[in-house]
Amino acid sequence: MNVKLIGRAAAATALAGGAVIAGVLPATTANATTSTTYGWVKVCQYIHGYDHDYDYNYGKYSIKNDYGRWGIYIDGDKDDYLCYKKKVRTGWTKVTVHDYPDHVKYDGKNDSYKFDVKKDKTYTVTYHYTSK
């Protein structure tokens, strides 16, 4: 009789252990598929000495990381300070100016910025121009 009791106890322990392992594996797999995190990148342009008589057209920018590249056009003829906000995945991200608005002075320095986007954080890159 002792042999049967030991056998049943071992089987119960094996089943209980299997249930714990089975319970852990799907949870780990589920977390791996839902762990994608996002942050925000805000690209702005500010035109010092904004003159309503000029048509500044668009400033052309891009946001790029390992998951994609987005072209951004910020209209410069509505106001002196305009922004565009984009949701991106976390990780190293680069913002680049490709073409600055018409009728502005721009020295061309610091035309791109690279930074590490963290979860739920907003990063603002502002390009400053002077009206001609």
Do residue 7 and residue 51 come from a single domain?
no
Question: How far is the CA of 9 from the CAs of 1, 120, 130, in angstroms?
Answer: 13, 50, 82
Q: So what's the pLDDT on residue 35?
A: 66
Count structural domains, the chain: 2
Do residue 22 and residue 58 come from a single domain?
no
Residues 32-62 pLDDT 10s:
445 689 999 999 998 888 888 888 888 899 9
- pTM of the prediction? 0.68
Do residue 10 and residue 52 come from a single domain?
no
| Domain containing residue 87 | 38-131
What CATH number does the domain containing 117 carry? 2.60.40.1120
The residue-averaged pLDDT of 6-22 equals: 37
More confident of the two residues 18 and 124: 124
Do residue 84 and residue 50 come from a single domain?
yes
Do residue 22 and residue 45 come from a single domain?
no
Residues 60-113 pLDDT 10s:
999 999 999 999 988 876 676 889 999 999 999 999 999 988 888 887 777 899
Q: Are 28 and 112 in contact (CB under 8 A)?
A: no
